[in-house]
Amino acid sequence: MTTATVPAHGTQGVGEPVAQPGRPRPRGSFATAIRDALRRPAILIALGWLVLVVVSSVFAGALAPHDPLAQDLDARLAGPSATYWLGTDELGRDLLSRILHGGGVLLLAALIPVVVAYLLGVPIGMFVGYVGGRADALADFVVNVLFAIPALVVVLAVSVVTDNNLPFMTVVFGVIVSGGIFRLVRASTQASRDLLYVDAARVSGVSRWTILLRHILPNVLGPLIVQGFLLYSGAFLFLTSLSFLGLGFDPQQPSWGQLVFDASANLDDDPWMMVPIGAVLIATVAALNYLGNSLLATLPTAKRARLLTPPRRPVLPAEAAAGTAPAGRRTPAAAEPADSDVPLVVEDLVVSFRTPEGGWQPVVDGVSFAVHRGETLCLVGESGCGKTMTALATLGLLPEGGAAAGSVRLAGRELLDLSEREMAQVRGSQIALISQEPMGALDPCFSVRSQLGDVVKLHRGGSRAEVRRRVHELLRLVGIPNVESVAKSFPHQLSGGMAQRVCIALALAGEPSVLVADEPTTALDPTIQAEILDLLRSLQETLGLALVLVTHDLGVVADIGDVAAVMYAGQVVELAPVDELLAAPRHPYSQGLLDAMPEDAVRGVPLPTVAGMVPLPRDWPTHCRFAARCPLAVDACREGPVPLLTVQADRSSRCIRTDELARSQDLATTGVTP
């Protein structure tokens, strides 16, 4: 495929980015949460206390006024004094010095379970959260087992077996608590894997691990940091309990658990002994928990985009694959040669979703169409007719629970038979998607150059300079004049129109022959909509692309379409060249949509509408699905399924009264009965 430069379109949406290109990289919402948190005095106090504990433990040797093991039997169980500021224990040892020396090992040892839990929980949670399926079920089972194990009992057993080996005990404890991290990461990954920009990366063919590291990990990091505080505090308390029980720590050396044990043994004789160590422990655990919980409360709720993509390719069982179309209609065609003029052929496509009862509910039912090189086919219809599911099925991107059957052939290759891995290679390089939410389709953490460069590198490779050149070429191709400053920009610095141009550039980076655009102008204001449509039109003409455009707007079809497939309740009800459809629709539903076009509105005359609603898939009748809303419906329309009837060489209509509709249109235009 050759590329060509398309002139810039107008000025709106292609000018400077909304914000200054030189602005620093945007601070993520987690960074903002931390900045806000640091303004709160309680958090500063908690943080200050922890810093004090760490620093005094590190410099205990220099700070402690006495040797923590030195005994002064004359001063046994003494209260605070000028010599012993916090008093002494039953052997006359200085409590302050013992507290200063007793925290270091504990604070360090508590890090081990946290590190182990992260090393296990993060990669496994991310992987199974992303791929789902059996790996997910197995990992979940193992974690359920881990949760059922009482950690203390296991660690006690380990201490016996390993002769009180503290590092080993902490590692085992880390393995047991890693389930919590796993669950957190898995849930965050599941929420992130369906974000539009993750979908966009997947559609561009970016590898699974690159997506996990670059696009999903940043979303998981915030909750992980918060959880780290809570986990550390739990590990700290757990190890204090072990030390209290005389396990893990050297009984000759002071430790905070040992100090609690000593204080509890002397509670009757000297209750004061419990006060200093109790206060230190409570303050330390409270500070850790408070910091963790405060960050948790300030973490922004993840903004979830529309759920789209499981990485699996479920297979629709034969009985569900049949859809509800009349039997005997299906006529499998021979595959087109790879160099055919018809890069995309969809035949008898059925898309179904699993129902809670375990069955399958079709939502797209026997859809067929073909798109030629340099042609735009519009899937048009009201909301819920199955346009998006048809488009997503061609890309192998159905949402969780959905499966497709029938045939989707790209340059003669059957896509529905491909594995997810094979399909990932096809997406981006042969067929690409432009979504309706350009802002959601771009990762807010990376500049335009970085995101576009990744995809260029993936599909073309090349040196840094070559990738950079190609990025600029692509930006120019989509009508961006000031490529240098836009390439440096982050998504939030772009206008909606500019962001959509960048998304189109992303879709073109792999030089696909087929572009699928799902309502690409819906999120944009009307002037920008026209520019983006112009851009798509000129790109499609210059690059010879086959374009499948999903829209609910016949005005868009009129602007850009060559062929229209009008969809109603999961079926194509009319397939026709756009000019002919607009001049004389051959299905009453197309006629209704046409009459309702605001472009034809007459001032003072209410705009006609198609009364009623599109039926939900579960309410589809077995006869004509439009009959309940159709002004032409007669008894015969309710007698059984209506096949798609050929009304001209290149036109078909799913209406048994299509000829009468044509006659009435002729009558209306000529005033003469044909």
Which residues would be at the binding site for ligand ATP (CB under 6 A)? 353, 363, 381, 383-389, 399, 401, 552, 616-617
DSSP H or E segment with residue 551: strand 546-551
Pick 259 or 614: Cβ nearer ligand ATP: 614
Q: Least Å distance between CB 496 and ligand ATP? A: 19
Nearest-angstrom CA–CA distance, 190 and 508: 28
Number of Cβ within a 10 Å radius of residue 44: 12
Q: Least Å distance between CB 385 and ligand ATP? A: 4
3-state secondary structure of 657: coil
Please check whether residue 194 is in contact with residue 305, taking contact to mean a CB–CB distance below 8 angstroms. yes
Q: Least Å distance between CB 197 and ligand ATP? A: 19
Q: Least Å distance between CB 521 and ligand ATP? A: 13
Pick 399 or 608: Cβ nearer ligand ATP: 399
Beta strand 571-577 pairing with 413-414: unpaired
Beta strand 413-414 pairing with 563-568: unpaired
Pick 477 or 557: Cβ nearer ligand ATP: 557
User: How would you write 367-431 as a 3-class SS string?
Assistant: EEEEECCCCEEEEECCCCCCHHHHHHHHCCCCCCCEEEEEEEEECCEECCCCCHHHHHHHECCCE
Please check whether residue 491 is in contact with residue 18, taking contact to mean a CB–CB distance below 8 angstroms. no
3-state secondary structure of 572: strand
Q: Least Å distance between CB 431 and ligand ATP? A: 18
Pick 382 or 420: Cβ nearer ligand ATP: 382
| Long-range contact pairs involving 626-630 (C-beta distance under 8 Å, separation at least 24) | 626/568, 626/569, 626/573, 626/587, 626/588, 626/589, 626/655, 629/589, 629/592, 630/588, 630/589
Pick 499 or 550: Cβ nearer ligand ATP: 550
Nearest-angstrom CA–CA distance, 520 and 8: 18
Instruction: List the one residue out of 496, 497, 502 whose CA is nearest residue 450.
Output: 502
Q: Least Å distance between CB 386 and ligand ATP? A: 4
Q: Least Å distance between CB 325 and ligand ATP? A: 16
Specify the residue for token string 């690059």. Answer: 543
Pick 207 or 622: Cβ nearer ligand ATP: 622
Q: Least Å distance between CB 384 and ligand ATP? A: 4
Residues 6 or more apart whose Cβ sits within 8 Å of residue 152: 238, 241
Pick 204 or 309: Cβ nearer ligand ATP: 309
Pick 239 or 367: Cβ nearer ligand ATP: 367
Q: Least Å distance between CB 522 and ligand ATP? A: 9
Pick 383 or 673: Cβ nearer ligand ATP: 383
Q: Least Å distance between CB 307 and ligand ATP? A: 7
Q: Least Å distance between CB 570 and ligand ATP? A: 7
Q: Least Å distance between CB 596 and ligand ATP? A: 16
The torsion region of residue 43 among left (phi > 0), alpha (psi -120 to 50) and beta comes to alpha
Pick 236 or 620: Cβ nearer ligand ATP: 620
Please check whether residue 224 is in contact with residue 189, taking contact to mean a CB–CB distance below 8 angstroms. no
> Where does 110-165 have alpha helices with state H?
111-131, 133-148, 151-161
Nearest-angstrom CA–CA distance, 232 and 237: 9
Please tell me what DSSP assigns to residue 615. Answer: P
What is the DSSP secondary-structure string of 328-369?
T---PPPPPPTT-S--EEEEEEEEEEE-TTS-EEEEEEEEEE
Please check whether residue 70 is in contact with residue 83, taking contact to mean a CB–CB distance below 8 angstroms. no
Pick 270 or 518: Cβ nearer ligand ATP: 518
Q: Least Å distance between CB 592 and ligand ATP? A: 16
Instruction: List the one residue out of 483, 391, 500, 361 whose CA is nearest residue 21.
Output: 483
Nearest-angstrom CA–CA distance, 5 and 547: 18
Number of Cβ within a 10 Å radius of residue 307: 15
Q: Least Å distance between CB 362 and ligand ATP? A: 9
Q: Least Å distance between CB 400 and ligand ATP? A: 7
Instruction: List the one residue out of 387, 341, 332 whose CA is nearest residue 363.
Output: 387
Nearest-angstrom CA–CA distance, 578 and 131: 41
Pick 443 or 519: Cβ nearer ligand ATP: 519
Pick 121 or 561: Cβ nearer ligand ATP: 561
Pick 205 or 366: Cβ nearer ligand ATP: 366
Burial class (CB in 10 A: 0-12, 13-18, 19+), 140: middle
Specify the residue for token string 């042969």. Answer: 430
Q: Least Å distance between CB 5 and ligand ATP? A: 33
Please tell me what DSSP assigns to residue 451. Answer: H
> What are the backbone dihedrals phi and psi of residue 422, each rounded to the nearest 5 degrees, phi first?
-65, -40
Pick 292 or 310: Cβ nearer ligand ATP: 310
Instruction: List the one residue out of 431, 427, 501 whose CA is nearest residue 206.
Output: 427
Please check whether residue 1 is in contact with residue 513, taking contact to mean a CB–CB distance below 8 angstroms. yes
Instruction: List the one residue out of 549, 573, 522, 194 whose CA is nearest residue 364.
Output: 573
Pick 201 or 565: Cβ nearer ligand ATP: 565
